[in-house]
Amino acid sequence: MPEPSRPRPRVLAAALGLFALLIGLLDYSAWAWHIQGAHGRGLTSYFFARQDMWVLDGTVAALAVMAWWASRLTPPRQVTRVRGDGQNILILIGILAGVLAARIGRDLVFHGYSPSRDELMVEMAGAYLADGHLGWAIPSEWLPWQRAIMPEFYSPYGADTHWTAIYLPIHAAIRALFVRLGDPSFASPVMLGIGLLALWQIVRRLLPDRPDAHAVTMVMALTSTQLVAMAMTPYAMSSHFALDMVWLALLLRGDKLGHGLAAIVALLAAGLHQWHFPLIFMAPFILWLFARRQWQAGLFHALVCVAMMVVWARFWPMILIHEVGTPPPSDIHRTNGILDKIESLFGRLDGWQPLLNNARLIAWNNLLLLPLAALSLAAIRLRDLFRDPPVILPLSLAVGIGMGLSLYQGYGWGFRYMHGQIGALCLLAGLGWAATVRSGDRKSWRLITASVLLSLVAAGWLLTDTQSYLRGYARSLAAIRASKADVVLVDIRGGFYMSDLVRFEDGKPGRPMIMALQMLRMKQLDSLCASKRVAIADRTLFWPAGVHRVAPVFRGSDYIEAQRAHLAAIGCGVPVTLTP
């Protein structure tokens, strides 16, 4: 991309001011629609009110000040070429620091605790793959209570004989490698590092003569609290970010080797955990190849997308059937089949939350990310739009699709369903900077410096509060695992997703075996109490441990109350208490 014919400080100022207004409207709209007057809060609205709303308030004020300051900038009289030698070393140090911060944060921020069932499936699959299996065979001792031990998100294949994760295996296989190396918590940080290196390679290819734009792109990524925080978790999202960036870097090579390697990466990306995620990112670039009349390359990658679905929606289930068995007739779990996936996506449209999810995305990323990304549109030349469509178009389309498909995510630090597209946003930000700011404009660079400092402040607040929220869950789990009982029954009343305390230790079955109380019938309780030492974890443990309190009365809670009365009547179950 050539230098802008003339610098555009007023355009930059206008973009900052416009986004201060838009983010303010988003912040207020999310509050008015989801928070004001609401009788109860779901998990996403709870975190918006607890964390994101305050960051967005600060973002609006900061962008307004930046807009005023940018409007007073005087453009440099001449272009100063920036050398990237020392900068390259700083970027490499920044990538290494991001990887280490993610690994350290796993212990300091998350307390080694995974709050969601999605993460528990990764931990379980990583453990059994590392052990050379495609699932854990259910010991005969635990068969009568198997569904209480694995209440949800299990694979239907062989579900009456095996515990197998419902998700596809590639991300779990990456974790399994690190299980064998001795530290599974390094899997996501390393994938983050791979994605950052690929992102750096892409921007250097797109803007070879603008090292300042390289720096802007990497600053946007390295100051993304979402990228670093999600790498503190077992979620597959860091792997999606990494493989999306590697795929794009190979695609942009434009040669046969690049396209061939990109096809392999695409097949791996589709098998990370759900095969439709990489399709959302890749489809706009395939359309872009057709728009540029690169017919062979476009057709090749379109066929690769078909192969992605065939391999993971058809062949993988066949492997599971062969290894662990067919789904039992009584099991109604969905599979990874194409029709099941389409039905699942349409069935979740009632959980469309564009205000909350995009608010979370903005709060957990650099405050200049969206304004600079929008400025990339200034680089589009209308006379070349159809003759030679720029890469800005597929990048923008991928981002637009991701932000538009704002389905309910449950837990997620930022908006995790947009994780694969954050790299595209960072590239657009670099392109936007190159389109509006001349190389070597040190005055404009002060905006980037300010954004780094403000992002660090926001990250400190968000991660400290996340640590505070998770501490109660981690303490509750530690108390459960310290119990000397054979079985711990979890009474889920009183907290968000308390059934997710039902888990294996490091993905492997062991003792105490943790069960979801609400999944058991009275006769199952009788047989359990007759043969095992039983303990009960409930809100008398959760609340003193620091778990956020929610109303213990909900649809189905009367059955749990009846179960507790039955257990008391037969003298079964001692309470789990906090360990010192």
**Which of 55-59, 234-238, 492-496 has the least mean pLDDT?**
492-496
Q: What is the pLDDT of residues 235-285, one digit of tens each?
A: 999 999 999 999 999 999 999 999 999 999 999 999 999 999 999 999 999
What is the per-residue pLDDT for 40?
67
**Percentage of the chain with pLDDT > 70?**
92
Sheet (strand 513-516) strand order: 513-516, 487-490, 534-537, 574-575
Q: Which of 92, 131, 355, 328 is CA-nearest to residue 218?
A: 92
Question: Over 90: is that where the pLDDT of 369 sits?
Answer: yes
Question: Over 90: is that where the pLDDT of 371 sits?
Answer: yes
**Percentage of the chain with pLDDT > 90?**
79
Q: What is the pLDDT of residues 541-576, one digit of tens each?
A: 999 999 999 889 888 899 999 999 999 999 999 999
319 vs 123: CA distance, rounded Å: 21
Question: Over 60: is that where the pLDDT of 346 sits?
Answer: no
Question: Over 90: is that where the pLDDT of 383 sits?
Answer: no
* Tokens 């062991």 -> residue: 510
Given 3-state DSSP classes, what are the helix, strand and coil percentages for the chain, each rounded to the nearest 5? 65, 5, 30
The stretch 102-119 carries a mean pLDDT of 96
Question: Over 80: is that where the pLDDT of 89 sits?
Answer: yes
Q: What is the pLDDT of residues 503-534, one digit of tens each?
A: 999 999 999 999 999 999 999 999 999 999 99
Instruction: Write phi, then psi, for 385 (nearest 5 degrees).
Output: -60, -40
What does each C-alpha distance from 394 to 387, 389, 401 come to in angstroms? Answer: 15, 9, 10
561 vs 552: CA distance, rounded Å: 10
**pTM of the entire structure?**
0.93
Question: Which H helix or E strand runs over 121?
Answer: helix 117-130
What is the per-residue pLDDT for 216?
97
295 vs 288: CA distance, rounded Å: 10
The stretch 457-480 carries a mean pLDDT of 96
248 vs 251: CA distance, rounded Å: 5
434 vs 441: CA distance, rounded Å: 11
Question: Over 60: is that where the pLDDT of 7 sits?
Answer: no
What is the per-residue pLDDT for 353?
87
What is the per-residue pLDDT for 434?
93
What is the rounded average pLDDT for all residues in the chain?
91
What is the per-residue pLDDT for 343?
60
Question: Over 50: is that where the pLDDT of 5 sits?
Answer: no
Please say whether the beta carbons of 524 and 148 come within 8 A: yes
Please say whether the beta carbons of 247 and 265 come within 8 A: yes
3-class DSSP state for residue 138?
A: coil
Question: Over 60: is that where the pLDDT of 334 sits?
Answer: no
Cis amide bond preceding 211, omega within 30:
no
3-class DSSP state for residue 513?
A: strand
- Would you state the structure tokens that stand for residue 239, as one six-digit string? 């792997």
What is the per-residue pLDDT for 144?
94
Most confident of 80-89, 293-302, 376-385: 293-302
- Would you state the structure tokens that stand for residue 89, as one six-digit string? 């070393």
267 vs 308: CA distance, rounded Å: 5
Please say whether the beta carbons of 95 and 197 come within 8 A: yes
445 vs 443: CA distance, rounded Å: 5
Please say whether the beta carbons of 165 and 316 come within 8 A: no
Please say whether the beta carbons of 228 and 105 come within 8 A: yes
Handedness of CA 408, 411, 417, 418 (dihedral sign): positive
Which pLDDT band, with edges at 50, 70 and 90, does 381 fall under? confident
Which pLDDT band, with edges at 50, 70 and 90, does 491 fall under? very high
DSSP string, 190-233: HHHHHHHHHHHHHHHHH-TT-HHHHHHHHHHHHT-HHHHHHTTS
Half-sphere exposure of 110 (CA within 13 A, CB side): 24
Please say whether the beta carbons of 239 and 420 come within 8 A: no
**Could you tell me how far CA 454 lies from the centroid of its own chain?**
23
Question: Over 60: is that where the pLDDT of 332 sits?
Answer: no
Q: Which of 85, 113, 146 is CA-nearest to residue 520?
A: 146
The vertex-461 CA angle with 460 and 465, nearest 5°, equals: 115
